[in-house]
Amino acid sequence: MPAVKKRPQREWFARLLDSLLPVFAALAALLIGAVMLMFLGVNPIQAYKALWDGAFGSSNAIAETLVKATPLLLVALGICISFRGNVINIGGEGQMIVGAILATWVGLTFTTLPGWLVITLAMLMGFMGGAVWGGIPGVLKAYFHVNEILSTVMMNAIAVQLMNYLLRGPMIDPAQAQLASKIPQTAPLLDIFRLPRLVPTRLHLGALIAVILASLVYILLWHTTLGYRIRAVGQNPHAARYAGIKIQRYMVLALLLSGAFSGLAGAIQVYGVNYRMITDGSASGFTGSAGFNGIVAALFGQLHPLWSIPASILFGALLVGANKMQRVVQVPSALVIALNGLVVVFVVSSEFWRRRRQRQRLAVAEVAEEPLSPQENIGRVEADV
């Protein structure tokens, strides 16, 4: 009996440690960042205090953090779906761009319709545009065995060139077309087409939409047959096929839904923040690298839609607070980029470390010939995948 009681305690502690690994990883990255700051002759405490104040020091700072976190959360929700289905979506940047292009086209074309109707149509078009852009690599992966990492990255490049062509040609602001500079941007949306503000700051309705969708994605993945089949295909495609699940269909669906949420992020970015589509010629000129940072937010949240909410807020805070840190302590912009990069590298690495720990625990359990708990059985499948 004592051995039976001791084992659940070990399992509970191991699961707790695994869940906290991303937090330890982020703290380790900030510790290395502190060393870098000291080499530059900057007080790390003062620098990190400025970072905190920039992200949470006032109501306006909190609002800016939530605004920055909104596209990260939407992309992270799509990543939770695709990664759970064992397909890797690196195409969030391109999917955001395509969703934004279609949503902007709706706002510039149907100018006589009511504002609420145009916003609704734009969100739907952004959702569907991202779905199509994500579904193409899904079809290539499922039916032609094309590596989805390569195809989604290449789809990013195609989307960037499409954006540059449209914003310098057919969709360019007429006022810019008459100027020699010709800044690549569309005409501004009408005021009635802008997402409502939640408080007297830049915080808009898109943040609330993202949180609601996080709850719906959680229900989809863990409380519907569709979500169960996506996760079954991701955990063990051979067993899923044996059970009669059409794995190709659910591979495509996982990438399609993942792209759809990224496309919606692009639409909300236009209607909630920029009020037009503008770029500097690169993907990050419009997305702010949300398509990539959203992947890290999802991994930080253990690929769980609800945990992705605080994870996205954390990374939104890092992005917003780092700007104030740069201004207050006068550090080079390259250090801010390096600090964010360190957090990304450490958090992603923690996911591999977590899976390695799972495999080690499973191997020890098999050697001891002890029965595995349901959580460890699930962990065995995830570790194998």
Amino acid identity of residue 78, one-letter, is G
CA atoms within 13 A on the CB side of 131: 9
Rounded-to-integer distance, Cα 99 and Cα 110, Å: 17
CA atoms within 13 A on the CB side of 7: 13
Give pLDDT tens digits for 352-378: 777 777 777 667 666 665 555 544 554
In a domain, 48, yes or no: no
In a domain, 64, yes or no: no
Rounded-to-integer distance, Cα 219 and Cα 85, Å: 16
Q: Residues near 15 by Cβ (< 8 Å), separated by ≥ 6?
A: 375
Q: How confident is the model at residue 252 (pLDDT cuts 50, 70, 90)?
A: very high
In a domain, 290, yes or no: yes
In a domain, 155, yes or no: yes
Rounded-to-integer distance, Cα 335 and Cα 275, Å: 31
Give pLDDT tens digits for 22-81: 888 888 999 999 999 999 899 999 999 999 999 999 999 999 999 999 999 999 999 999
Query: Of 116 and 341, which is predicted with more confidence?
Result: 116
Region for residue 369 given its phi and psi (left: phi exceeds 0; alpha: psi -120 to 50; beta: otherwise): left
Chain length of the chain: 385
In a domain, 265, yes or no: yes
In a domain, 5, yes or no: no
Mean pLDDT for the stretch of residues 220-227: 97
Q: How far is CA 11 from CA 164, 173, 249, 358, in A?
A: 52, 60, 36, 11
In a domain, 32, yes or no: no
* Structure tokens that stand for 162 in this block: 């499409």
pLDDT of residue 104 exceeding 90: yes
Residue-wise over 148-187: b if at least 16 C-beta within 10 A, else e?
Answer: beebbeebbeebbeebbebbbeebbbeebeeeeeeebbbb
In a domain, 190, yes or no: yes
Structural domain of 78: 73-305
Domain count, the chain: 1
| CB of 148 closer than 8 Å to CB of 89 | yes
